[in-house]
Structure formats: structure tokens, C-alpha cells
């Protein structure tokens, strides 16, 4: 009987800490990426996470080799996993096993059973990395960066353009009313074993990535697409501005062309145009007051609209604001019940 894979608590904590920021915890329709995938090949335990825009793979060599397995711990359970691991001393040996619908961790402080879905599919991260590394010429200059400096660009617009001449040249960063440089990292810790070429990286990770089959798997094809409604909401301020102006003009045009004997259609067009124009004016004011907040709001709003759950959020928001949405619903239902139907109106007229 094969032994269970075991590794130190500090290594498992590092895997979680490294990959957790890359999960699609707030993604829309990305259930397969909503968590950290733990993949053991018997030699290393890998942690993989992606939000469709980034992919991160971290690994730690097992103290005791064991039977390979792959399970995804989803975001609602990651906090509990992290707390349980952090409760152990760094050198504590933790054992990972699987049972039906569970990933089981045993350590000096007890046992943790995390619910997982057996047989759950996950993107082929090995082939994805093979493809990405194969696209880089092996003689391409290698530049080292200090990753802790990347966060300094997080307020330089949502989208920036970058250029890099390679080697010791700085990275050029250009955004809206933002321009700057980031110098490469010139010093290297002697004990830090990192790859200088794509071939070096493949060699260093060959036990994890396996042999390249020659089949391509690009990022856009490898990762699941979010569920979308028929209408995909605008996610930037310029897109939202255009959408609101277009909606205002379409609604006001529809108002004049609506059947005069259909007051409901007339009211719907009027309400749509008024709300679109009001939203446009508020957006323009927000852009003037705080462009960054406007960009953040547009991106966040797009995710909410695409999710199709705004009715639930609106209900919660109404309650939080001190209103009674249930009374609103009751008033609406009563008004509908008191309104004569088209059939009744026609019968009365006859």
C-alpha cells in the first residue's frame, strides 16, 4: 500500500500564500477557478490558481512520496485551510490524503477534512506552461525583476502599456496621465536557483511539467470562459459613457415611436431614457471628482450586471438603507391586481 504524501507545514503555508491572490474568488461564472488546485505527482505537491488573467503555480518537495492526487479547495474553504496550517509549527509534518468528497489533512493538531468534488475538471496547466515557454526564443535576453515593486503600479490606471528593450534596460510604463520606469533587479542572491532561459525553466520543472507533447494550449483556450448574459456590460468609463448615451437616445427615440394606445410602452421608454441620462450625469461627475474611483466602479458594476444577480443585491441594499423592499413588492402586486386586464377592458367597451 502506497504511503501518504507528507510535507512541512511552512511549505504548505507558502503554497497557499503564493497562489491565493490569483484565485477567481470574485469572478463571474468561473467555478472551476474559484479556489486552489492541489496536484501531487508523488514527488512534489503543486498549488495552482488562476483568475483567467494570471496563472500561478507553486510547488514543494514532499518529505514522504505518496499516491498522486488532484483536488480543488474552493475559496470559501481556503481561510479554514490556511488557519489550520498556520496553527502548526513550521517544521510540523502534515499528511494529505483523499477520501470520497474530502481532502484530508492530518497533523499534530488534529485532522481537517475539506469538502471537494471528486473528478472535478481543471485546466491543463502543464501543457499551458509548456506552450508559453516554447513561444519564447531560447536566446531571448533574461531580465530579473523584483516582484514586490509591481504593486507600486496598481494605481497607474486599470490598463497600462509597457515596453522593454530587454537586458538591463528599464521597463517603460505608460498609462493615462502616467508614465514611468522600473529598473530591473541587478543583484542576485547566490543561493537562489532560478532559470535564465526557457530551456532552463523547463529543465528545472521537468518533473512537474512532464514531457512536451508538442501540442499548443494558449491561455485563452485553456481557461474557462465566464458565464455571460446576452448583454455584456461595459467595464470601462469610456465604454459605459457610450452605452449610457446610446441608451438615452434609443429610449427617447422609442418614446416618440411607441404606440399611443400603449401607455405601458411609453412609460417604459421614458423611464429608461431618464435613468440612462441620470446615470450618465452621475458618471461624469464621478469622473471629474475621482477618476480612479469611477474606473473601479465601472469595472465592479460590469461584473455585477453580468452576474445577473442585481435583484438580490438591490434587495439587500434596500434593507441596509432602511427601506422595506417587501412592502414595495406587496404594493406592486396589489397595483397589478387592481388594474383591469386588457380582456376586461375590451368586454366593458363592447
The DSSP annotation for 2-49 comes to PPPPEEEHHHHHHHHHHHGGGS-TT-SS-GGGSEEEEEE-SSEEEEEE
- Residue 265, exposed/middle/buried by CB under 10 A (0-12, 13-18, 19+)? middle
Say what the pLDDT of residue 96 is: 94
Give the pairing type, strands 6-8 and 102-107. Answer: unpaired
* Beta-bridge partner residues of 96: 105
Fold of 1-140+197-227: DNA Polymerase III; Chain A, domain 2 (3.10.150)
CB atoms within 10 A of CB 302: 18
Residue ranges, comma separated, of all CATH 3.10.150.10 domains in the chain are 1-140+197-227
pTM reported for the whole predicted model? 0.67
Report the chain (350 residues): mean pLDDT per 10 consecutive residues: 82 95 68 89 93 90 91 93 94 94 95 94 90 84 83 80 86 87 73 68 84 74 59 77 88 74 75 89 90 84 76 85 88 77 49
Rama region for 34: left / alpha / beta (φ>0; ψ in -120 to 50; rest): beta
Q: How far apart are CA 177 and CA 95, in angstroms?
A: 52
| Cα distance between residue 12 and residue 9, in whole Å | 5
**Range 136-168 burial, b when 16+ CB lie within 10 A, else e:** eeeeeebeeeeeeeeeebeebbbeeeeeeeeee
Contact 24, 33 (CB under 8 A): yes
SS3 of residue 284 by DSSP? helix
Quote the strand ranges of the chain, DSSP E: 6-8, 35-40, 44-50, 55-61, 69-74, 93-99, 102-107, 110-115, 161-164, 171-175, 178-182
Residue 231 is predicted with a pLDDT of 52
Amino acid at each position: 500500500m502506497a504511503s501518504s504524501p507528507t510535507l512541512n507545514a511552512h511549505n504548505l503555508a507558502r503554497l497557499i500564500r503564493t497562489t491565493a491572490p490569483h484565485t477567481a474568488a470574485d469572478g463571474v461564472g468561473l467555478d472551476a477557478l474559484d479556489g486552489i488546485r492541489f496536484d501531487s505527482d508523488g514527488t512534489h505537491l503543486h498549488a495552482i490558481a488562476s483568475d483567467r488573467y494570471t496563472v500561478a503555480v507553486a510547488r514543494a518537495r514532499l518529505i514522504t512520496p505518496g499516491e498522486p492526487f488532484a483536488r480543488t479547495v474552493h475559496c470559501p474553504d481556503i481561510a479554514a485551510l490556511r488557519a489550520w496550517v498556520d496553527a502548526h509549527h513550521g517544521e510540523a509534518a502534515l499528511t494529505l490524503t483523499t477520501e470520497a468528497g474530502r481532502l484530508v489533512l492530518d497533523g499534530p493538531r488534529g485532522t481537517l477534512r475539506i469538502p471537494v468534488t471528486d473528478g472535478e475538471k481543471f485546466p491543463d496547466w502543464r501543457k499551458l506552461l509548456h506552450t508559453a515557454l516554447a513561444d519564447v526564443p531560447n536566446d531571448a535576453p533574461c531580465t530579473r525583476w523584483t516582484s514586490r515593486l509591481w504593486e507600486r503600479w496598481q494605481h497607474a490606471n486599470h490598463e497600462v502599456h509597457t515596453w522593454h528593450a530587454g537586458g538591463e534596460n528599464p521597463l517603460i510604463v505608460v498609462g493615462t496621465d502616467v508614465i514611468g520606469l522600473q529598473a530591473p533587479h541587478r543583484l542576485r542572491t547566490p543561493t537562489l536557483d532560478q532559470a535564465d532561459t526557457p530551456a532552463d525553466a523547463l529543465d528545472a520543472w521537468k518533473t512537474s511539467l512532464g514531457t512536451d507533447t508538442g501540442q499548443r494550449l494558449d491561455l485563452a483556450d485553456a481557461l474557462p470562459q465566464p458565464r455571460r448574459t446576452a448583454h455584456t456590460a461595459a467595464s470601462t468609463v469610456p465604454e459605459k459613457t457610450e452605452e449610457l448615451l446610446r441608451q438615452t437616445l434609443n429610449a427617447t427615440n422609442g418614446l416618440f415611436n411607441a404606440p399611443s394606445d400603449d401607455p405601458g410602452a411609453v412609460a417604459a421608454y421614458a423611464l429608461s431614457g431618464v435613468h440612462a441620462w441620470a446615470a450618465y450625469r452621475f458618471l461624469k461627475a464621478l469622473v471629474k471628482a475621482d477618476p480612479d474611483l469611477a474606473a473601479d466602479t465601472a469595472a465592479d458594476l460590469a461584473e455585477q450586471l453580468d452576474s445577473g444577480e442585481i435583484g438580490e443585491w438591490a434587495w439587500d441594499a434596500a434593507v441596509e438603507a432602511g427601506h422595506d423592499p417587501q412592502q414595495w413588492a406587496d404594493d406592486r402586486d396589489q397595483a397589478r391586481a387592481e388594474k383591469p386586464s386588457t380582456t376586461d377592458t375590451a368586454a366593458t367597451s363592447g
